[in-house]
Each structure stands twice: as C-alpha cells, then as structure tokens.
Structure 1
C-alpha cells in the first residue's frame, strides 16, 4: 500500500513536478543575486535613509525595502516617473530598477503554469503530490534499509533504484520543506487558511497641522530600524493634513509629518508572522542562502521524476507472467511468492516451469492470496524476500495473519526458500518467521529452510537439485536475471599459483579493448583505459560459453588501476572457473559489473581489519592497494602452502614496506598443523580488542564456512567488551562478502 501511495502521485504529476522544480530552482537564484548586489549598512534608522534619499531625489514618492535588503526609490522628475535602486548607506543611485521580464515569466509559470486560477489549482495539487511523495518515499526508504539508524548506509538494488533513492535521501529535506511551504501558500491563496492580512490601520482623524519637519528628525522614523522597513510612502507636497505611510516588519501605521508622532499603528498578528516566515522559507527572499539550498534540492526533481518512472516501468516489466498456471482447486503443487520489487518472481517462474515440465500441475500466486482452503495440494513451496529490517515484502505483508486464521492442512509438506542480503542484521528473517509459523501449525518440512544471498543463481540451482532429489525427478533450475550490458576485455596478464595442485589458483588481469589509429594514440598519450567505473569489492559477472547463468567474482582492482583483476580457484567440474583458467594472454571475454557498495572500507582513519582465506584475498588486496592514505590496515589470511598458493605475496610485502599494510598475519594449514585464519585471530585477541575499541571496521571475504568460523572466533574475542559480531554488523562495522 505504501508503495502504491508513493507511485501513483509520482506518475500522475511527474511532468508538473519537473516544471515546478526547475522553475523553483531558477527563482531561488534571484534572492541570492539581489543580495550580492546589496550592501547592508550597520545599524541605521529610517529617518537617516529618507533624509539621504531626498537629498538625491527631491521628487521621491516611495521607498521600498525588499526582503533581500535592496532599497528601491520611486520618484517623479520633470521628465516623468522613475524607479532606481539606491545605496542604503548614502542614498546614491546604483542603477535603474527594471525587474527581469524573464524572471516574471518564470514566476508566473511556477505559480500558475501561465493559466491563472486553473494553473494555481494545478500547482497546488503538485505541491500536495510532492508532499505525499516525500513522506511516502522517506518511509519506504527507512523500511527498505532497516530503520532510521541505517539511513546513511550504502544502498543496493538496480542502478535506477539506487540512484533514485541515493539522490532522494540527500534532497528529501529540501523537497519536503518546499512542498510543505508551497502547500500552505496555495491554501492561503484560495483562502483555505488565513495569510494574516489585515485592514489598513485607521487613518488619523486629525494631525498636528504644523509645518512639515525635516524627515531626518521625525521621531517615529528615527525609532524605526532600517532592517525592519518594508515601505515608506511620502506625503503629498503642500498638503498639511497628509501623513507618511510606514510599513514595517512589526506592523503598519502613519507618521505625522510635523510632530513625527506615530499615528494609528496596527501591529501584525501571529498568523501574519507565520505566513511571512513560510513565504521566506519557500522563496528564499530574506534567506538567500537557504533559498539556494532549496533551489539545489529542487533541481533534483526532474531526476527523481525520470528515475522514478524508470523504476516503476522496470517493476511493471518484472511482474509475474505465467503460462499454464493451473487452477488452485486442481493443483498438485502450490508456489507462493513474497516479493517487494518483483525480483523473486523471476525465480518462482523458473521453478513453476520446471515443475510443469516434470508433469506436475502447479498453481503460483502471491503469498497474500494463498488458497489454502480451495486447493487440495499438499506440497507447498514458499519463495520469499525479506524487506528492510526483517519485515515482510509487500506481496506477503498479510500472510502470517492469513496463516493464523486459515491454516493449511497439517498434512501439507512445505519448503521455504528465503532471499536476502547477508549485510542486513536480520538476513532472511521473514523467511525464517514463515518457516517457524508452518511448523507451529503442525506442517512438515519437505526440505529444511534454505537462504539465498543477493539472489545468487548458483545457490538457487543447488536448491533446485535438492528439490529434484526430494521429488525423484531431475530438476534443473537456471535463472538468469537481467544484467547490465557486458563489455569486452582482453587478458593482459595471468599469474598462476599451485599448477601442480588439483585446485590451482590464477590471478587474471584484463584491460579494455585496444584502440587503433588516432584513438589509440590518444589513449596511450593520456593513459586512458576506457574501463567502466568499478571499485575493489564490486563484482564481475562472467557468463561462460554454453551457459546462461553468470558467475560472480569479487574485484581486486578498481577502474583507476587501469585493469580489471580477479582471483579464481579452479573448482572440480566448475564450468566458469575451468573456462577462465583456460584463457591465454590476449584472449577476449565479456564482463558486466554488479556494484557491491556495502562491501568496502569506510572512509576515515579508523583501523580496518581484513580477514579472508583462499581467493577471498582478492578484494582485500585491492583495498590495501588503494590505501594511499596509509591508514591502519591489518590483514589476516589463510592459505594451504606458502610454496604453492601464497597469493599476492610480492605485492603484500611491498604494501608492508610502504605502510599501506600495517600488519600481515598468515595461516597455512599444511605446514601449521591445520591452523586456520580464525586461529590467528584468537592468538591476536588483545590487539583485535584494541583495534575494535578504537573504532575499527572488519571486512571478511571467502567461503561461507570460513566466515562462520570467523564469526564464532570474533564473538569470543569481543565478549569481554560486551560486544558481538551482530552488534558490529548493526552499526555497519562488520561486513561480509562470502560464497
């Protein structure tokens, strides 16, 4: 529901939001430009100003002070009327005051779309839509990332999703302020709320009637600070009963031109003060610096509108479309799906089609539409994501309530497959809750709960093998999510380790396709590498020949290094690792990048503890290579034998020598009596506690089994500090990239 509330006004008002945002950004520059051309004198009163203005403009009729401090004089001469901007210190003319016709046009477009009342209604609706978008978008983001405490953490998702949310969380405060103030001002325009305007103060029935005194001596004007002036209208010359009209920030009144007394003053009420504050906050007039901030935020409106529409369209395209979806009342197998952004449906479709090909009648539906009472099926698969901090995704947010009210037959067998991101403290929590709920209702698990990290196609395929074994059929589940366009690379260098081993390792360094002619000359001259942007710790997606399923390898370099570098161990029967190990220098491959912003060191001088084993050293070596600031970095790494697979040995020694790496702790299982990397952590427990106590961050890369052992060791090390891995994970100080 929250997503619908966010999407609908965005789609309907996308064009209007873009127009209002761009025109608002243009208008925000006006107060700043006006303020830059205005000198604001030290404390001065209105009497002094009026006296100096009259010295230069004997025919002055009116002085206005704009919210930005500019002083405008309206005057008459023998040749006609004139309007000048004057120096508030001397009263001298600065320039003729001619408001920009372009800015007037922009203001009319911003306020009414050049359509008078109809346009004002449209812009009022746009302000309300923007308010709804800001509030609902902020709530969606908080729910997605797991709470307010995680608001500054790296975001993930598709490129459009990330950029939409990234820019949104930066600009939301300014956009929220503009939408709230714009909505209030629109309401005041249509008299739905009061703007605090009041009648003119009562005109004095009598005045002193004496001869006019010099304006510089009028007591009421002497007592009025120039900073409070809004407008001063001079009396008609020769009319003894005429008065000065004085408008100030505090109220409006009249001044006797002979005695200087303040007559008929009427103070502004609180409602008017509120309106003027909101007006200044919305326009930046009088708060030029604040206006510029709002203008910058307003410039994001077109971006938010475009990326929002793209995200919506991607979600529409990803909506489930199933062929041969059997009626629930005749199905043998139910597949229920819990998804927030529709990505889980892709996996469900693969399972659905594979089961149909195996001869089963299958009904697939959202979890919120589970047909437990209608279907005779006694085999149930639940594929569900977890949203935010352990919550249910939108297509399953009513499921646990539905399950408690209308539970399935206890004879039903079920298998839960959870999708999530292990960087979240409550990884696949909703899937775990669903699994526990079925067990509580007496249903029997056909398979134990399986969780999939970051939509791994390989993990999904392995789960499919287990499903096939359980059903007694061969089940091949290959899901190839939509990936970015791959780009060609050429192998520049390979460094082989353990060639005599059954599972050798190779470091592969790729470069962009070589250019010829003038383009190649410019590339070499300016050292351009023409690689797409990526950073160490991001993932390289490679689809081996004859397969539709990509394999992902953590990058040991970033694009600034001029190479794309990966570290690959040859796996028995591994299709992609065998393909990569067989590459010769100069051969071409196709690669795409999957950003992995949640796995990289935090900026700053706090210590970074890097822990890995085997090829998990790849991104860790990349982090060390890029530690040009020489902040404290400690590497704990485990291998098999230093003679065969001491990966990156020369580089690590160089990094120790130039202080990019502070300490290196290795564990070689073949020569150290089976010692693993977690043992080195335990041996160095005191140092670990000191590093963590000084704000250290931990990054772990390698196999899931190794990561599990490391977590157990770290929990023991951190226990005396009343800390745990879970605590560090929650605060973003413990991150994993495991496989």
Structure 2
C-alpha cells in the first residue's frame, strides 16, 4: 500500500513537481541576494532616525517599507509624479530602483499558479499535496529499505537510479516535507480555508489640529528599532485628523502626528504570527540561509522525479519474456519469482535456461501470479524470493501469502524456497523465511530446505544449483551473469608454477594492466579500478560461459594476478595453464562487493586453502596501514605448493602480516586448516573480541569444516559464525 501511495502521485504529478521545485529553487536565491546586497542598518538605528533621513531626502514621502531580507524601500511624490527607490538607511538617499524584477515576477507567477491564475493556483495546491504524500511515504519506504529509522544513512546497494533516488531522498525529505506543508497552508489562506485577518489598529483620529511634527521627533517611533519595522505611512497633511500608521513584527498602531505619541495599538494574533512564520519558512524571506538550503533540497525533486519514473518503467519491463518456457499447466518445473528491484528475475532466468538445457519444461512467473490449480503437470515448484525492507514482500510477490492461505489444501507438488538478501540487515531473507514457514505450516511438502543467496552472490547461487541438480538427478551448473561487460585482451607477463610434485599443477599468473582511458579510471569502469577479491571472467575458446578467478591484486599494484589450478578436463584452466609470457587471453572484470576486507584497524582473520589464497594474499599486500592480520593457509605440501612463500616473509617484515599459520595435508603429520584453527584458537578469540573480521576463501568442504571449527572456538566469546555473518564480520567466497 505504501509503495502504491508513493508511486502514483509521483508519476501523475512528476511534471508539475519539476516545475514547482525548479521555480522554487530559483526564487530561493533572491532573498539571499537581497540580504547580501541590501545596505546595512546600524543596530542602534530607530524608525525615527530612518524616517527622518528619508523624509529629509524625499519631502513628498508616502510610505517606507522594510522587506524581510532587510532592504528599505520608500515611495514618494515628486512634482506630482510617483517615484520609488531602495534607500540607504544611513543617509536616506536612493541607491536603486524599488521596481519589481520582471524575471522574479514571472518565476513567482509560474511557481504559484503555473501562469494560469486561479486554475493554476488549484493545480499548485494539488502539486504541493502530492509532494507531501511523496515525501512522507518516501521516508517510510527509505526506512524499510535500509532496515529501520536508526539505519537511515546505512550504505545502499542496487541499481544506479534506485541508489540516486534514495540518497537524495534521505537528504532532501525534511526540506521537501516542510516546503509542501507550508505551501498547503499558504494555499489554504489564498482560498479562504484558513482565515488570517490582518491586524487593524482600530479607528483613531489625531487629538489636535496642530501642525505635524517631523517623523524624526516622534517619541513612539524613537522606541522602535528598524529591525522590527514592516511599514510606515506618514499622515496626509491635507486630511484633517489623519494619523501616522505603523506596522511592526509584533502588531500595528496609529500615532498622533502632532504629538508623536501612540494613540492606538493592536498586537498581532497567534494565527497571524504562525502565518508569518510559515511564509518565512516557505520563501526564505527573513531567513536567507534557510531559503537557500530549502532551495538546494528542492533541486533534488526533479532528479528524484526522473529516477522515480525510470525505476517505475524499469519495473514495468523488468519481468522477462524467456523463449522456450511453457504454460503453467504444461510445466514440470514452475519457477515463481518475488523481486523488488529486478535482480532476482535475472537469477530466475539463469535457472530457467539451465533447466531447459537439461531437458526440463519450465514455467516462469511472478509469485503474485501463484495459481496452484494450474500446475497440473508440475513435479516441483521453485520459489526465488527477495525481501523488501523489514521482512516485507517484494513488488512481484504481493498477495502470495494471502493466496496460499486461501487454498483449501496445500499443493501436492513439493516446494523449495531460495531467499535473496543482505546479511548486513537484521531481517536477512525475512520474507523468504516467512514463505517457507507458512508453506510448512500449511503442510506443503519440501523439496529442499530453505537456502539463501547473500548479496547476489553468484557462488551461493551456483552451490544451490548443484544441490538442486542432485535432488532432481541431473547435472545443474548455474553460472549467473548479471550482464557480461566487454572483454579486454590481457597479456601474461610472468608465471610461477607449483604443485607438480603432488600432481596438482597450479600457477600464479600475472597480467599487465590493459590500457584504460582517464574517463574509465575516474568512473571506475572496466579495469580502471579494482581491488583484491574482485573477479576476472575468462571465456575459454570454444565455450560460451565464463569462468571466474579471484584477483590477488588491486589497480594500485599496476598488474592483475590470479591463481589457477589445472582441473581434470577443465577447458578454461587448461587454456590458462598453457599460457606463456607474451600470450594473451580475453577477460572482463566483475566486482565482488560481498568479499571485501573493509576499512579500519580491527584485526583480520584470513582462512583459505589452495587457490583460495589468492584474494587473501591481495588483502595482505594492500595492508599498508598495518592492521593485525592472521593468515591460516591450507596447502598440500610446503615443498610443492607453498604459494606466496617469499611474499609472506616480506610482508611480515613490513608489518602487513602479523601471523602465518600453515596446514599441510600431505606432510608427514597431515593437518587441515580447521585443525590449525583449534590449535591457534586464542588468536581468533582475541581478534573477534576486538571487533575483528573473518574471511574464508576456498572449496565448499573446507569452508564447511572451518565453520564447524569456529562454532566451537567462538563459543567462549558468546558468538557464533551466524551472528558474525549477520554483522558482516564473517564473509565467504566459496566455490
């Protein structure tokens, strides 16, 4: 409901909001310019002082006005002709014309009424209402997305349009809400819905017919500072009994021109003061800095209007139409997708294609289209569900649980749920968990237990795919590519070979950096910017799917380095292992944001085996700040595949690596990396108690053994690997 409330007012009123906010931002500049350019008035100057100087310079004075920005304007008759000017309060002389700026008048009319008089004023009021709805509903949606109000400025992930939209909203929502509220109040005043009657001093006449004394000698004016003045109108000597009228910030009054004494005074009402404050907040007149700040916030609205429409349109076209899928009643495998931003649809398409290549008939649909009565031929239902906000259903899953609850009997077809989320949030895969729990509570059979994919990890997805294939009795390799960028030719500059003695050929391959433009480096595109732990994708000759290898270097090192092990029958690893210096291979860069060592000085525990040492070596290489790093490295034998041995010694000498612990599975006394973890548990506990992070890279079996060992090791500290994962302090890159 909240998203609908946010979406449609934004789409319908987008053009009007752009006009209102851009014109409002332009108008916010004028009060600031006035406050800067207006001649200054001494704090001790009274209205009597000012009026005397202006009256001396312009004997036919009719009125003096002080704008909220501090500019003094005067209006007078000279030789029977009206004239005006901006006044220097120190001399009373004219320094500029007081005529309104025609550009400002045009922008004001555009802002208030779209240049359409009363019809335009109604449209402007409706636009302000739409903006208020957008601001309030948007604030709720932002809080949901980031995990709660306390996480308002938490880091964002997702597409560019969505991130820009939310980043601007987080900063501008207060200003936009304030502008919308004050605009609605002013519109209500314009149309008489709120009656703010101007203060009137009441009827009063001069007490004598004596000649008026000069304004500079009037006691009533001598008690009022210029900063409080709104307007002053001298008496008309041709009209018997006429008085001097004055309006200030606190009220209005009349003065006897013969004595200079106040003969009637009316205080401004509370409603008048509220109205004046609202006018000041909305226009910035009287608060120039606030006006500029609100104007800058208003500039965010056009950008958010554009990004909002782009997000809506992307959502309209995001659900893919995949060739080869069949109708719901013909499919043996039904894939249902719950996606908010569209990324889960990409995983679903990868899954559907792989299943169809394996000979399966597949139906692909959104979770909101759930209709179990149509799945007559289905042997399994696969639900891929993202989570929106605080455990809510994503856009394409609306109504799924309601439809499930309305089914008289649970479907006979078994179900499995795969959740997509971010372990950094407390409600990690919360909606997928709800779906799984509700299905089990309804008695729906489970094909596989609930599993999850953390931060769109292709490795998690591939692992789940292998498990699904095993259950289905087919070989299922899910290689998910959000979109393969253009490949670059990488030239091998050196290689170091290991593992021949244990019949496991392995090599550290170092490639030269490909040429990148300044624009690519500034934007971080292609190979312009990368870090250890990122991936390079290599498409082997004669194949269509890439293989990914973790980088052991960053762009600051001036080269790309990976570790490759020759796999039996491995096409890609075979071709890479056959490279000699000077040879080239086509590759592209893939960010791996889920496997980063982070910033700060907290200890780092790195655990890896075999080729999994590559990104860990890269993290140590980049540790120029000398944070405490403990490396646990599993290898076969020190004489065969002790990769980076020389570098580790050098990095220890430079303070980049504090401890190195090795486990040799082919030594005289075989050990695996989890065995060494138990032996050196004190170092791990010390690191975790001081806010440390654990990073694991390597094969699935190794990672499973490491997790089991850490369950025991961390127990005295009262934490578990799962708890650390939820905090982002336990990350894996497992294959």
Q: 1:565 and 1:208, CA in 2 relative to 1: closer, same or farther beyond 3 A?
A: farther
Report deviation, 1:617.
Answer: 5.5
C-alpha deviation, 1:472, in angstroms = 4.5
Other-structure match for 1:276: 276
Alpha-carbon deviations, 1:665-722, whole Å to 9, x = none? 4434457843447447622256425632xxx666665566666666666676766666
Aligned match of 1:51: 52
- Label 1:731 to 1:435 Cα distance change in 2 as closer, same or farther (>3 A): closer
Structural mapping, 1:416-435, within 5 Å = 416-435=417-436
Which of 669, 672, 675 is the aligned partner of 1:674?
A: 672
Partner of 1:19: 19
Pairing partner for 1:591 from 588, 592, 596: 588
Aligned to 2:404: 403
CA contact under 8 A between 2:597 and 2:619: conserved in structure 1?
yes
Any conservation in 2 of the 1:493–1:509 contact (CA below 8 Å)?
Answer: yes
Alignment partners' CA distance in 1, 2:716 and 2:218: 77
Matches within 5 A, 1:81-480: 81-89=82-90, 91=92, 93-194=94-195, 196-198=196-198, 200-237=200-237, 239=239, 241-321=241-321, 328=328, 332-352=332-352, 363-373=363-373, 375-377=375-377, 379-387=379-387, 388-406=389-407, 408-409=409-410, 411-457=412-458, 459-461=460-462, 463-472=464-473, 479-480=480-481
Deviation per CA, 1:233-281, whole angstroms, max 9, x where unpaired?
2222455522222122222222222333334433322222222222222
Task: Say which is worse superposed, 291-300 or 361-370, in terms of deviation.
Answer: 361-370
* Counterparts of 1:247 and 1:219, CA distance in 2: 16
**1:609 is the counterpart of 2:611:** no
Q: Determine if the alignment matches structure 1 residue 691 to structure 2 residue 690.
A: yes
Question: Is contact 1:503–1:572 with CA below 8 Å preserved after alignment?
Answer: no
Q: Please identify, of 183-192 and 354-363, the stretch whose mean Cα deviation from structure 2 is larger.
A: 354-363
**TM alignment of 1:482-561, pairs within 5 A:** 482-483=483-484, 485-486=485-486, 488-491=488-491, 493-496=493-496, 498=498, 500=500, 502=504, 504-513=506-515, 531-534=527-530, 538-555=534-551, 559=555
Give me the whole-angstrom Cα distance separating, in 1, the residues matched to 2:330 and 2:76: 90
Bigger Cα displacement from structure 2, 275-284 vs 406-415? 406-415
Evaluate the alpha carbon distance shift between residue 321 and residue 288 of structure 1 in structure 2; reply closer, same or farther with a 3 A threshold: same
Pairwise CA distance, 1:394: 3.0
Segment drifting more, 728-737 vs 281-290 = 728-737
CA gap of 1:426–1:54, structure 2 versus 1, over 3 A, is same
Shift of the 110–616 alpha-carbon distance from structure 1 to 2, 3 Å rule, reads farther
1:74 counterpart SS class = strand
Tell me the distance in 1 between the aligned counterparts of 2:405 and 2:429: 21
Q: How many residues align?
A: 723
2:221 and 2:245 mapped to 1: Cα distance? Answer: 11
Q: In angstroms, what is the RMSD of aligned CA positions?
A: 4.1
8 Å CA contact 1:703–1:738 kept in 2: the answer is: yes
Q: What is the CA–CA distance in structure 1 between the aligned matches of 2:547 and 2:683, rounded to whole Å? A: 35
Moved more, 645-654 or 397-406: 645-654
Contact map agreement 1:541 1:553 (CA 8 A) in 2: yes
CA contact (8 A) 1:642 1:668 kept: no
Change (3 A) 1:643 1:73: farther
Cα displacement string for residues 84-107 of structure 1 (whole angstroms, at most 9, x for unaligned residues): 333445545444445433233222
Cα offset, 1:34, TM superposition: 1.8
State the Cα distance separating 1:132 from its structure 2 match. 2.5
Q: Assess if the C-alpha contact under 8 Å between 2:516 and 2:528 holds in 1.
A: no
Cα distance 1:433–1:533, how it changes in 2: closer, same or farther (>3 A)? Answer: same
Cα distance between partner residues in 2 of 1:368 and 1:530: 38
| Structure 1 Cα separation of the partners of residues 42 and 396 of structure 2 | 63
**Structure 1 gap ranges (5+):** none
**Residues 437 and 52 of structure 1: CA distance in aligned 2, closer, same or farther (over 3 Å):** same
Distance 1:200 1:420, change over 3 A: same
Greater alpha carbon shift after TM alignment, 327-336 vs 136-145:
327-336
For the 8 Å contact 1:511–1:529, the answer to whether it is kept is: no
Q: Quick one: structure 1 residues 359 and 573, their matched pair in 2 at CA, closer, same or farther if it must change by over 3 Å?
A: closer
Shift of residue 523, structure 1, vs aligned partner: 13
Q: CA deviation at 1:29?
A: 2.0
Q: Distance in 2 between matches of 1:228 and 1:653?
A: 76
Rounded to whole Å, the distance in 1 between the matches of 2:708 and 2:475 is: 37
Is the CA contact (8 Å cut-off) linking 2:534 and 2:589 kept in structure 1? Answer: no
In the superposition, the TM-score normalised over structure 1's length comes to 0.84
CA contact (8 A) 1:111 1:120 kept: yes
Change (3 A) 1:473 1:679: closer
Residues 619 and 223 of structure 1, relative CA distance in 2, 3 Å threshold: farther
Q: Decide which moves more: 118-127 or 471-480.
A: 471-480
Q: CA deviation at 1:224?
A: 2.3
- Distance in 1 (CA, whole Å) between partners of 2:532 and 2:176 is 34
Change (3 A) 1:420 1:685: closer
- For residues 301-348 of structure 1, the C-alpha deviation after alignment (integer angstroms, 9 at most, x for no partner) is 332223223322322222143567655566655433222233333444
Matches of 1:88 and 1:135 in 2, distance apart?
45
Alignment TM-score, normalising by the size of structure 2: 0.84
Query: Given that residues 682 and 713 in structure 1 are in contact (C-alpha distance below 8 angstroms), is that contact kept between their aligned partners in structure 2?
Result: no
